Amino acid sequence: MKDLHFRRGEYRYGDEYDYDLIRLVKGKLLEIDLRFFNPNFKPLWYKTPFRGVRFPYPVEILPDEQKHLTRQPKYKNPSVKDLAIDIRVSLKRYFQKVIQGDHCIVFHSAGFDSRITSLVMMELRDEGHDMSRVHFRCYQPEGPIFMEIMQRQGWDRGQYSVYEGPDEDHYDIGRPDRPLNGWQNYNQQMNFWSDIVKNEKEWIAITGVGGELWKFMAAKNPKYLPARTPNQSLNLFLNRYPGEGEWEGYYRRVFKDVYLPFLSFDYLNVSLFNIPEVSFDGKRDNVRMEVVRSFIDSHGIDCLNIKYGVHDYSWNVSRQRKRFITDWFYESLLYKEYKKYIPKFLDFHTDLYGYEAKLWGFATLYENVYNGT
């Protein structure tokens, strides 16, 4: 399915490309960029801790037939209602291609990207497309809102669930045996499907990453954004979206594949060339709201007037796991080889999105590259 998506998270070394950084650098003698060990270092977007390895520009990884996405277009200015119709058609076309009988787990929050995803899949289901091997999975505290969305859409009760999980170590993060995929914070190891997915390589993950373009368009954005591509819409999205796709690459390594409807070429060929009057109320943009609202007209299904969900990851890492995380790092190959460049006092647990979390995540990758584990 590679030619159906724009794949953030690809790495490049010379003429080699790979979403799996371990596989790309294994067997190569590469220098480490020591600046990454400085907590105050702010790398340019294309930099990685391995010298000679970088994130490519979009034009380098797009198929030839999609390279037009990088060019500055003459934008169309449709009404929000007309654009919502085109978005629905593009996503429906995409799901018709990718849902072909595999076990699929859909990461579903209570937000609008998730509502759009499940609504489009609902439409296909009602038209006879086989959705019997799809499972929608949510996590707390968005469970009650998610359950209401699923019920209104008429999904079979066995096709959706909320992850319960243990009170402590809820998302099972801090595991060196599940190495990260770059300079990546270790909370992105979060697992909220282990109770139903026993062999991830037999499942495809579907996630709504990439759906926030319209919010970015409506927001007050920085005056200067690095020029990754001449297409201003794509450039805005890539500069505002968190990270460089390390998470998607990690999921691609873990699962059989990852389907990304909002990074599909079907969707991007609509979203990147149409600029309506976009507004944002602090939580929701009018474009995605209209897509959800349009299903009231077409199907009589109201998933708009349900409370908007807010993510709240309850990490609740146990004392035992915290101790393990800390002890493991100080025994890791990365620390042994580079400890004179690494700060003496490290706190891996206060900021799970910060420097120490990324340093620990990189240590898991380094261990797998150079220690043969």
Q: For residue 250, which of 330, 320, 177, 182 has the smallest C-alpha distance?
A: 182
In the chain, what are the domain boundaries?
A: 74-299
DSSP conformation class of 32 = B
| Average pLDDT of every residue of the chain | 94
Q: Locate 285 and state its tokens.
A: 């943009």
* DSSP3 helix / strand / coil % (the chain, rounded to 5): 45, 10, 45
Find the mean pLDDT for residues 366-372. Answer: 89
Tokens of 83: 């654009």
Average confidence (pLDDT) over 147-175: 96
Can you give 234-281 as a three-state secondary structure string?
HHHHHHHCCCCCHHHHHHHHHCCEEECHHHEHHHHHHHCCECCCCCEC
How confident is the model over 284-321, as pLDDT tens digits?
899 999 999 999 999 999 999 998 766 667 789 999 99
Q: Please give the single-letter amino acid code of residue 53.
A: V
Q: How far is CA 206 from CA 272, 329, 357, in A?
A: 21, 32, 25
What's the pLDDT at 283? 82
Band of pLDDT at residue 1, cut at 50, 70 and 90: low
Tens-digit pLDDT profile for residues 72-124: 888 889 999 999 999 999 999 999 999 999 999 999 999 999 999 999 999 99
Any idea which fold 74-299 has? Answer: Rossmann fold (3.40.50)
362-369 average pLDDT score: 97
- Crossing angle for the helix pair 112-126 and 286-299, to the nearest 10 degrees: 30
Taking the complete model, does pTM exceed 0.85, yes or no? yes
Contacts of 310 (CB under 8 A, 6+ apart): 110, 142
